Structure 1
Amino acid sequence: MSRNDALQTFLDTAFVAFDRFAQDQRARKSIMQMFSNLEMPQTERSGISKRLPVCHRYLEGVFTTKTEQPVLDLLIERFKALEPHLEWKWRSTYDGSASENFLMSHANTVIVGPGGLEDRADVWLGATLMAPNVRYPDHDHAPEETYLVLSDGEFMHGDSDWFSPGVGGSFYNPPGIRHAMRSGEKPLFAFWALLPDQTKH
């Protein structure tokens, strides 16, 4: 089984970017395991392309972002080439911690993972886009997670205060930790990579 070129070149660049910018050793270990798993392609879906209104309004701004970091600029370029194949979705469940404008002002896409372009259970790699002045709901999940942030925006996890990773910022969420994000005056865009518990597979 082989991958289409757009997906493979994106994944190659994503590995380099996550590996370079991840500071936490737990994140680096997680990233290494995820991309080791990705060496074996899984079933690729076709005909799933779908954009939500927030994508039509803000994705072009993401695609023209210049980060002054060559690997991040290449990652954005390769995501732009891949994006027409992706399905963007709203988060279907959320609580009162989200901003009132949340539903129509955000979009998530799974690149590889359950229901993604490459449908698989052992790695979840995707992206989130949010319009300005939107708060994502508090949430948690069993897989550990590493973020790679490509915009302004603030994040929190556990008992932390809100913090701004900045463009190229990366941080690690241990399994089960409560976390959230919010955009300011500009849209927020970030990649995330989750590693399910390998003992369950």
Structure 2
Amino acid sequence: MRAIDGYEGRQENRYALRLAPHVFLRPGELRQAQWSEIDFRGKVWRIPAERMKMKQPHTVPLSRQVLAMLQELKHLEDRSEFLFPALHTSQRPICENTLNTALRRMGYGADEMTSHGFRAIASTLLNESDLWHPDAIERALAHGDRDRVRAAYHRGAHWEERVRMSQWWSDRGGSEKLHSGIIGLSA
């Protein structure tokens, strides 16, 4: 996280890297984010089904820290529908390699950290904390239930727990654990 804060590339890319550990999104879902999906007043990010891997809409609770970062980003980039527009055109989002390239420029090898690795770190540390129901963590990661029978009956979003978990992670888990040097969970 310190390396990201010191990243000297495009500001939009730094914000994408800063947001990644807080929101648990897949890199493609993050890089294609649109301002129309962000509800500042409701403190949620609503991603439509067509942009999600599992083709199900996904709602992300936004911590105070994420809301502040999004407000800062909004002041930087208000010409595009995308939070992270491409360098040469605001009509497209950054490309799929942008965030990993930024991590390489910061000195992290592909075996040390990838943009997808923020999800693995969050999943590992949230599960190890024993503070959160595993189903709430899986919902936060937008994972579908692999047990088809269970999936048919278990439709709870664990929303209130996810809101608390998101704020807890931004307050303590995400920044402290990542700043402590827990890296290398890039898969």
Identify whether the pair has TM-score above 0.5, normalized to the shorter chain: no
Higher relative contact order (CA 8 A, sep 6+): 2
TM-score normalized by structure 2?
0.28
Q: TM-score, length-normalised on structure 1? A: 0.26
Structure number with the higher strand fraction is 1
